Amino acid sequence: MIDTHAHIYSSKFDEDREEVLNRAKETGVKYLLLPNIDMESIRPMLDLCDSQQNCIPMMGLHPCSIDATYLETLEEIRIELFKSKEQYIAVGEIGIDLYWDKTYVQEQIDSFRKQIQWAKELKLPIVIHARDSYPEIFQVLDQENDRDLSGVFHCFSGTENDAQHILSYGGFKMGIGGTITYKKSKLPDVIKNIDLENILLETDSPYLAPRPFRGKRNESSYLRYVVTKLSEIYECSENQIIEKTTLNAEELFNIQKFTS
């Protein structure tokens, strides 16, 4: 398995990070892809990746980190990304979040667009955070999408129409994590009509733990609960889910380049 989205460098893992990583390995998680959040998260993320060969970093500015000084922060992120472009597997986590605060909507949109353009220049996939913002995300992607752009909608939570819109771009997949196991989730009805080749596994650790751990700290070893749910939805074996989603992740992120 590949956890395509894990904040394992978070301070929430400071007391037992080694044990968490060991549990992930024991349950069959081969790689963990780590999205950046802001300037403060860069150092702990890179330190972890330097010490753990199965952890691979991304670089980007999270929409919830956008404020009045976003242009200065973006420039620092850009410098870091371009000076070490061979080190980063994707541009992420980027996007638009209108759930918590709508104060900087235009700034979020501008930041999202700029980082998409960096990704196209570097030919890296993007990892999209879309919360209460699918129309705004689509408006930008409808203008920016081309053959040089690919990526994943992290923590996909949209409708079947949203899924079809995403697939129409040609180079995008949907990240599925613990929320698909929730009793009231509508995701199973949405993705059962989506080919498995468009699905990636993720946890968003330490957030969004699956049942039976909902409300507690999430970790990469819990991917197995997502796999079990997906095997029920797609009516196939768990091994088939693992094999296909792993292949999907390897192809989208060109993981071989970072592990050879």
pLDDT of residue 32: 98
Per the structure, the complete domain to which residue 121 belongs is given by: 2-259
19-48 burial, b at 16+ Cβ within 10 Å, e below that, comes to: ebbeebeeeebbbbbbbbbeeebbebbbeb
Does 164 score more than 90 pLDDT?
A: yes
Question: If you average pLDDT over residues 29-53, what whole number do you get?
Answer: 97
Question: If you average pLDDT over residues 158-162, what whole number do you get?
Answer: 96
Query: pLDDT tens, 190-203?
Result: 999 999 999 999 99
pLDDT of residue 1: 98
Q: Residue 245 and residue 180: Cα distance in Å, rounded?
A: 15
Question: If you average pLDDT over residues 207-234, what whole number do you get?
Answer: 97
DSSP string for residues in 132-176: S-HHHHHHHHHHH-STT--EEEET----HHHHHHHHHTSSEEEEE
Q: Pick from 115, 90, 96, 117: which is nearest to 35 by CA?
A: 90
CB 63 within 8 A of CB 94: yes
Question: If you average pLDDT over residues 103-130, what whole number do you get?
Answer: 98
Q: What share of the chain has pLDDT > 90, as a percent?
A: 97
Report the CATH number at residue 86.
Answer: 3.20.20.140
Does 260 score more than 80 pLDDT?
A: no
**Total tally of structural domains belonging to the chain:** 1
Q: Residue 115 and residue 121: Cα distance in Å, rounded?
A: 10
Does 225 score more than 80 pLDDT?
A: yes
Q: What share of the chain has pLDDT > 70, as a percent?
A: 100
Look-up of token digits 């197995």: 224
How many other CB atoms are there within 10 angstroms of residue 13's CB atom? Answer: 21
pLDDT of residue 200: 98
- pTM here is 0.97
Does 108 score more than 80 pLDDT?
A: yes
